[in-house]
């Protein structure tokens, strides 16, 4: 029996009420008319404390469902009291027991106000300025958009939300127009003027796109909820970016010099406490100390794992001993460390198995022996040891190892900058080596964790000195 019909920005929905003849139990469903999707169900025989089961979808919003249900209650459609539900669940004994069904009925609030009161309502968002709206949209505690993504099992990463929060605070809340302009009257020309103001204060084309990427999903979601008009970003006056400098990669000689570097595996204090690294506190290094840094095994291992395996920073920090198969010389890449998030699966769901090269094996075995001394060699411990807690990944400052290692082999900071040598270039080095060895882009993508072949082509677009020498030999024959 159809009891309520409602049109929303997501389409038309209706409630359908059912009654089971044998038990006398009532249940209802919220159904999307066009897709026939069941948005929510509730049955009177369920525990009232559990309330209803809500399945958020891209076509429906929990706030609208709450509003529809309150209208449902206003029409005085009631469900059985707990006493009647308890009776309905018992087996039928005799016709005399049917008199219990005359027990009083009481309305049940499936979505109490406290469940959703922490979220911004559409009405509240409609009355905000652009700056306040963008900041509210990226509020991880109160944003209905972020809450819906969690319900859809597609949560946004903590770093992504954090970066957008910073942009909302630094650019939209502080802009003289965006902080006062109501979101409901925002127009394309307002965005044009906003971009021009950002250019005047020196924002690069890359940064302009980064800032607008904070606004784009907020306006898309807002237009679906009648908070603001839909606005296209295609014709905004964003300058073309300067020619992108490809990341540089090391040559074979530099790679071999890193491999041959002497590294300190472990050292002990006077009290016998073991350590695997040292950080000067408050001491400014001399030029000689900067150019000839002391290298520790953990730093060297971090760089060599990147060069030999092509792993991302987060994948390196998340690598555990249980993932290394020394016997078969294979490594399983299963986890990734991302700032502001718990350990999760690798980027783009790129779980994979990579080859452990024979040349890397002795260094890993030395690292494992060091881990045993530190009681950090159990299967769940991390390969890059965290001295404070071996069951926690090493801090992000391990990435400083890249600069130290390059200085140790004679590549100054100025040369690193001019050649665009960054740690992510180790993945370029890895991909280039595999392509030069004759593997297909598809095979390389399986090993490097790339799902888009165009990325492989871009990573492998390096003409190494070794390739040039082989070309000379071939042409001179």
- Stretch (H or E) spanning 268: strand 267-268
Please report how many Cα atoms fall inside a 13 Å half-sphere around the Cα of residue 149, on the Cβ side.
16
**How far is Cα 156 from Cα 368, in angstroms, rounded to an integer?**
36
pLDDT digits (tens, 9 = 90+) for 88-110: 344 444 444 433 333 333 333 33
Nearest alpha carbon to residue 164 among 207, 211, 122? 211
Token pair 């509730």: residue? 42
Computed on alpha carbons and rounded to an integer, the radius of gyration of the chain in Å comes to 31
Task: Quote the CA–CA distance of 391 and 400 in Å, as a whole number.
Answer: 21
Phi, psi torsion values for 380, nearest 5 degrees = -85, -5
Structure tokens at 467: 């390739």
Cβ count within 10 A of residue 413 = 13
Q: CA-CA distance, 320 to 337, in Å (whole number)?
A: 12
Judged against a pLDDT cut of 90, whether residue 26 lies above it is answered with no
- Does the pLDDT value for residue 171 go beyond 80? yes
The two structure tokens encoding residue 234: 């295609």
CB 328 within 8 A of CB 303: no
pLDDT of residue 472: 53
**Length of the chain counted residue by residue:** 477
pLDDT above 80 for 286: no
- Six-digit token pair at 420? 């665009």
72: pLDDT strictly greater than 90: no
Q: pLDDT digit string (tens) for 385-419?
A: 988 888 899 988 888 899 999 999 999 989 999 99
pLDDT tier, 292 (very low <50, low <70, confident <90, very high otherwise): confident
């Amino acid at each position: 029996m159809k009891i309520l019909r409602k049109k929303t920005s997501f389409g038309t929905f209706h409630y359908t009420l059912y009654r089971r003849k044998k038990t006398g139990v009532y249940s209802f469903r919220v159904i999307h008319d066009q897709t026939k999707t069941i948005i929510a169900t509730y049955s009177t025989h369920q525990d009232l404390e559990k309330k209803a089961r809500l399945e958020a979808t891209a076509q429906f919003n929990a706030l609208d469902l709450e509003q529809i249900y309150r209208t449902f209650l206003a029409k005085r459609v009631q469900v059985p009291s707990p006493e009647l539900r308890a009776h309905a669940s018992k087996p039928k004994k005799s016709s005399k027991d049917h008199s219990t069904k005359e027990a009083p009925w009481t309305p049940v609030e499936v979505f109490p106000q406290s469940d959703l009161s922490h979220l911004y309502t559409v009405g509240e968002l409609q009355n905000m300025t652009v700056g306040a709206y963008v900041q509210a949209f990226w509020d991880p505690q109160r944003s209905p958009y972020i809450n819906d993504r969690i319900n859809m099992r597609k949560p946004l990463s903590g770093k992504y939300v954090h970066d957008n929060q910073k942009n909302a605070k630094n650019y939209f809340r502080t802009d003289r127009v965006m902080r006062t302009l109501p979101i409901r009257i925002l127009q394309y020309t307002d965005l044009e003027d906003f971009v021009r103001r950002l250019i005047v204060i020196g924002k690069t084309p890359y940064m302009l796109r980064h800032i607008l990427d904070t606004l784009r999903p907020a306006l898309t979601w807002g237009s679906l909820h009648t908070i603001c008009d839909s606005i296209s970003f295609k014709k905004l006056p964003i300058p073309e970016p300067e020619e992108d400098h490809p990341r540089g990669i090391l040559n074979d000689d530099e790679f071999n010099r890193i491999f041959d570097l002497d590294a300190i595996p472990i050292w002990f204090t006077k009290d016998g406490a073991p350590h695997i690294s040292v950080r000067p506190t408050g001491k400014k290094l001399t030029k000689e100390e900067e150019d000839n840094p002391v290298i520790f095994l953990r730093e060297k291992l971090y760089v060599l794992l990147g060069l030999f395996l092509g792993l991302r920073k987060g994948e390196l920090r998340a690598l555990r001993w249980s993932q290394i198969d020394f016997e078969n010389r294979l490594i399983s890449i299963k986890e990734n460390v991302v700032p502001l998030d718990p350990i999760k699966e690798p980027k783009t769901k790129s779980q994979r198995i990579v080859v452990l090269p024979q040349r890397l094996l002795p260094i890993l075995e030395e690292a494992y022996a060091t881990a045993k001394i530190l009681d950090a060699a159990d299967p769940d411990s991390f390969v890059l040891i965290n001295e404070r807690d071996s069951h926690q990944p090493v801090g992000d400052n391990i990435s400083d190892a890249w600069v130290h290692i390059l200085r140790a082999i004679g590549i100054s900071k100025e040369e690193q900058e001019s050649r665009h040598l960054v740690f992510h270039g180790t993945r370029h080095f890895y991909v280039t080596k595999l392509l030069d060895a004759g593997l297909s882009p598809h095979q390389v993508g399986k090993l490097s964790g790339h799902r888009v072949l165009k990325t492989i082509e871009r990573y492998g677009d390096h003409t190494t000195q070794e390739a040039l020498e082989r070309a000379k030999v071939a042409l001179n024959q």
